[in-house]
Amino acid sequence: MKHILIILFCIPILHLSLYSDSVSDAWKSLENNDFMKAEEHFRNAITTDPKNIRAIIGLSYVLEMQQKYAESWNMYKTIQDYTQNPVPYFYAIWLNPRFSQNLRNPKSGAQDILKKLTQKADNGGSLKAMAHEMLGGLETRYGNIQIAKDHYKKINALSDWTIIGSFENISASGFNTMYPPELEYDTNAVYEGKNSAPASWYKPAIIKPDYWLDFQAFFPERQAFFYANTFVWSPQKQEISLRTGTSGALKVFLNDHEVFRDSTETNNDFDTYIVHTELQQGWNRILIKVGYSEIDRCNFLARITDDQGNPIAGLKESSVKQVYTPKKPDIVIVKKNEILESLNTIIAEHPDWYEHYFVLADAYLRNDKAIEAELLLKELLKRSPNNGLVYWKFLDAYNRGRKKDEVISTYEKLASISKDIPDAVVFKFNQHLDNEDFDRAEDMLARIEKSLPKSELYYNLRIRLYDKKKLQEKVIQTAKEAYSTYQENWGFTELAAIFDFQASRKRDTMIAMYKRFLKKDYSEVPLIGLAKTYLEDSKVDEWEKTFKQLIELSPASPGFYFQMSSMYTQLQKYDKAEKMAKQALTFCPSCNVYWSKLGETYRSMKKNDDAKQAYNQALKYSPTDYDSREILRELEGKKSIFTLFGETNRDSVIKIAPLDKDHPEASAVIVSEKIHRVIYKQGASESEVETIIRVFNDKGIDYFKEYRIGYNSNSQTLIIEKAVTIKQDGKEIRADINRNMAVFKSLQKNDCIYVKYRVRNFNSGKLSKHVWDDVYFNRYFPLHYAEYAVLVPDDMTFTTTQQNMGIDAQEKRIDEVGSTMYTWSSRKEPGIVYEADMPSLEEVGKILRLSTIPSWSFLVDWYAELAQTKTETSYEIKEAVKQLIPHPELLSEQQKIAKVYEYITENIRYSMVSFRQSAFIPQKARDVLVNRIGDCKDVSTLGIAMLKELDIKADYVLVNSGAEQRLRDILPSIAFNHCIIAVRQSQNQNPLFLDLTASNFPAGVMPGADKNAFSLLIKNGSVQPIVLPSKQIAAPTITIRGIVNFTDDNAAIVRGNDKITGPLTAAFRSAYKGKTYEEQVKIMQSNLATDLPSAKLKTLTISGLDSLTSSMSFFYDYEAPNVVAEAGTYKIVRIPWRNELQTDDALSYEKRSYPVKAINGLDTSYEEITMILPQNYTLLEVPSPVELKCPAAEYSYSITKSNQGNLDLLTAKRRYIQTKTFIEPEEYDNYKQFYSKALKEDRRQLLLVKNK
């Protein structure tokens, strides 16, 4: 077939070669971005030879760029007259505006071409079927539904399906999971689907008229996989083409054997994937698996044809289970797209035929092959540099590839190339409009008016500009003018109709305008607009009639039945509401919203038993349908499930609540805090929290007047039931509520605040069945009464641990819900008295932890599943690594790791999103690289992917980052707020941990927030959390050496050298990197002024600043006046230490209740200062060396005398080493004494005496 196509192309190729000069001139003009000249050359070529296909194509693309779509199409369509095989050319521009915007114009010839293609098209038969599909769509919009159906039928698609779903595909994790439908076809079986909902086979009521099976019409879940099954009977064993197109990832099975797979989620056309295979004699099972997690659609169309795309005689199709023979086909050949192959052949043989690059790029893009199109255009740009037409086509490729930065930069490039490219002008218009720079926006609009006067684009932009400027009269005037010019534009029609209603307050004209539009364009949106208008005009019968037309037009849209049911319920037409809800459920029996609507209808009809059944069905498919749970209890005559915990007599509690005299040490008291959690059998859970707080003074008022409720907006919903200030006389004042913030007004001393809210959980995937909680039983305020109670189903196991407390749970059997209530409570808990440098509340608080997650390895598997597809490589990643490390064989493993680390930390913008507060799922590595922005898990994903290209394996590490938190008794839970990676090293059994958010840190150096952090390694075999190392590559040290020369006027001239290592370098790089020399001097001068206010910096040199080495050095000279004090014949000198110890507030207590958390980011500080003594002066007494030690630190100090020529020298040395972070209360006295002595030595002054 390929050979035949090449022969067919030979005729135009030979002809074109005779008339190439003008075409070549046109492309040279395009390289100079002289579009008018290029157009002139193309037209000259066509005038000379009307059959010059190269010129026809080139001119058509130039005109399309100028948005002259009619003229572009009129030129392009002539191709059919000058080549024996125009198919590749029409295939390529199937979705382009030059074609699509002329389809509904019978005079354009576009419909004639479609009709010709239904008779004779490509040898593979795909375009013939596509032409029928497009004609079907056109006839539908003309209102010719039956003619449309006739066209659709000629597609010859498989249509008798049973379907099943949904199955988990969170983060594209389900592609390689073998779900039960791949193992058997049992129409009686009920499987566990996504989020534990039941899944079983059923036959959909109807599929779309064009035979695309849209899973979104039949299943409510997103990020899911679905299956469709049918049986095909063949009279004999025969070879066939099994053809599919899809939105989503795809697997195709024939007789229980996989014959095709593509894990890439794309939106493509039918016949995108063609497998040449065979049917067995008799019945054959065909199973289609389609899923999505990243794109917004999920559907497929499948056909069985011969190799020419024709139907095969004698085949029968049945959704009913048949007896078939599971057998692997002898023939499975995935065929290449012959049209793409033929276009590639032309370019390979004629690489200077640039217009064919555009045709091939469009052919790629119509099937979501964005990378292929991008690479092709890059090759063209090399051959035709700075060509604006090429950049314009890049917009399509980058948009399809979701490359936002490249799209924006390309728009900017086009705007710089020419002032007249409409797409670039509109881009700049939007920029100026967003910035409210109306003058510049007007300038852009003037350009559009000049190039495309009174066009739809012009009117759209003009209306937007007037609207932004709040010029309502001009908006109305322009909208009416636009409508009168373009009555087939729905946007203009709707806007003009709305303005007419606002003026007349009557809807008659609006209805007439909508009806008139529908005669020209019979489609969903105007029908919905008409129905809405009828309803607003109280014309219920007309609304009903219009909705029936909608259903006739789109019979496989259960949402229309649902909308009708909802409206019938409001109109109290319950019989019709019931009928519509049931009709919707024939499409989507697992849709809990439809079941809830049916339950609501039955409830309104007083059919309580039927309502209960409907609500129970809703819960079966969606355990987190908490509204249905609540209504179901009402129908059963029961109060809220939270009443099972007992109810608080708020007034009584406040009456006996402590007053300020009871807690003179406190600014407020938490009178009562009750947390009640209900866990349902399927794992859904919700909590009710009730808190009463009394404030004693201004400090307490300031602390609690703005009350923020913590919750995770990604997986929880918050319902604030009540938030009030309760005055001492019992009067209530409602708080102002904004999302999760309650602001209490008129709060005074001894007032109480009362907050009651619910949190509903919506965990998904493997976490959907599980619950975890951390509950605090003390705070920094006295806690008069604390209670945590949880209702646990009988068949659910859970684990608890307690930190710094030992409270026995009270158990109570609740037969009504088949659960046991466990309650932990405490009374009169004193407030935690804050101590400087104490550990966090998470470390020292009294905490109850509860979890139903069975093990840490469960969480390892959970996250590995979430992230497994995100580190897949791509063209962009391969290219980035190749450019970064062109010769990997010349670098060591450590050098490669460092290169990747530095590339990511320097080039990817860090977007700070807490791991815990995000949806856990990282972006694809390719998307992080392309968009150059990401949070911790995103940059970790990119790091793993880039290292993988270098054959270096790395794993995710979930981290609870902080200030070296010492956490105990942590149960399996999502106890993490950060993500890094662990690189497997070939020469070291220990991994190298890399934090790819740690900008300015050397590779492998541990940032302070990661040191000794509680972590979980996401690697096969990891079963327990780990603690990250405190240091890897280099410890945080500072070494300072200096020479001091004293002047006669008691000033000191200092020449110093500071060497900083490890994580300390990051802070210095952050401060000094990218600054001018003058700015660096200013920063250093400011640092010196802390100890020596009058010091003046003379010189400064910094090494290691711009490279991420593990150390950097400062070389400097400064002069400090008046550093030597005189007392008679004595001089008093204080050693100019640069890093001397400071008074520590943490050591100001007599005793401590909590440890000192000694975090200063420094392991070792060493200083060596050599002082040249003033002439005729000597040290009165050489201090004895000092060596101090305690369990947490070491300190040494010494002074030595020496001579160098005529100079008397003193060399002072000090070293401070921090060996331990936590100083326990029992170690406090020892450490305090140690630190006091070391501080005293640091501040020792030297007495110089004049020589006699």
Q: Per residue in 148-169, pLDDT tens?
A: 999 999 999 999 999 999 999 9
Task: Please give the average per-residue pLDDT across 40-56, as a whole number.
Answer: 96
What's the pTM? 0.91
pLDDT the model gives residue 914: 53
Provide the residue type at 211 as one letter.
Y
Token look-up 């990243």 returns: 294
pLDDT the model gives residue 1123: 86
Contacts of 250 (CB under 8 A, 6+ apart): 244, 260, 261, 262, 273, 288, 289, 290, 300
Q: pLDDT tens across 223-279, in order?
A: 999 999 999 999 999 999 999 999 999 999 999 999 999 999 999 998 999 999 999
pLDDT the model gives residue 1158: 84
Do residues 1218 and 1163 touch, judged by C-beta distance below 8 A?
Answer: yes
Contacts of 812 (CB under 8 A, 6+ apart): 820, 821, 823
Task: Please give the average per-residue pLDDT across 1011-1021, as a whole number.
Answer: 94
Helix axes 354-365, 370-383, angle to 10 degrees: 170
Pairing mode of beta strands 1164-1172, 1037-1046: parallel
Among 770, 773, 761, which Cα is nearest to 717's? 761
Q: What's CA 526's distance to the chain center, in Å?
A: 34
SS (H, E, C) 267-289: ECCCCCEEEEEEECCEEEEEEEE
Provide the residue type at 988 as one letter.
N
Q: pLDDT tens across 726-771, in order?
A: 999 999 999 999 999 999 988 999 999 999 999 999 998 899 999 9
Question: pLDDT at residue 6 above 90?
Answer: no
Question: pLDDT at residue 1251 above 90?
Answer: no
Query: Lowest-confidence range among 372-376, 948-952, 1011-1015?
Result: 1011-1015
Task: Please give the average per-residue pLDDT across 708-725, as a whole number.
Answer: 94
Q: Give the helix/strand (H/E) hosting 714.
A: none
Q: pLDDT tens across 1169-1204, in order?
A: 999 999 889 999 999 999 999 999 999 999 999 998
pLDDT the model gives residue 682: 84
pLDDT the model gives residue 318: 98
pLDDT the model gives residue 586: 97
Report d(CA 893, CA 870) in Å as an integer.
Answer: 24
Task: Please give the average per-residue pLDDT across 105-114, as a whole number.
Answer: 95
Among 591, 630, 580, 635, which Cα is nearest to 613's? 635
Task: Identify the band that residue 967 occupies on the pLDDT scale cut at 50, 70 and 90.
Answer: confident
Do residues 1245 and 1131 touch, judged by C-beta distance below 8 A?
Answer: no
Report d(CA 47, CA 26) in Å as an integer.
Answer: 14
Domains and CATH numbers, the chain: 2-152+341-415 (1.25.40), 156-335 (2.60.120), 421-573+600-605 (1.25.40.10), 665-852 (2.60.40.3140), 857-1027 (3.10.620.30), 1037-1250 (2.60.120.1130)
Task: Please give the average per-residue pLDDT across 939-957, as a whole number.
Answer: 97
Report d(CA 642, CA 1106) in Å as an integer.
Answer: 60
**Could you tell me where the beta strands, DSSP code E, fall in 18-161?**
none
DSSP string, 566-626: HHHHHTT-HHHHHHHHHHHHHH-TT-HHHHHHHHHHHHHTT-HHHHHHHHHHHHHH-TT-H
Task: Please give the average per-residue pLDDT across 570-586, as a whole number.
Answer: 97
Contacts of 910 (CB under 8 A, 6+ apart): 933, 934, 935, 936, 939, 997, 999
Report d(CA 82, CA 51) in Å as an integer.
Answer: 6
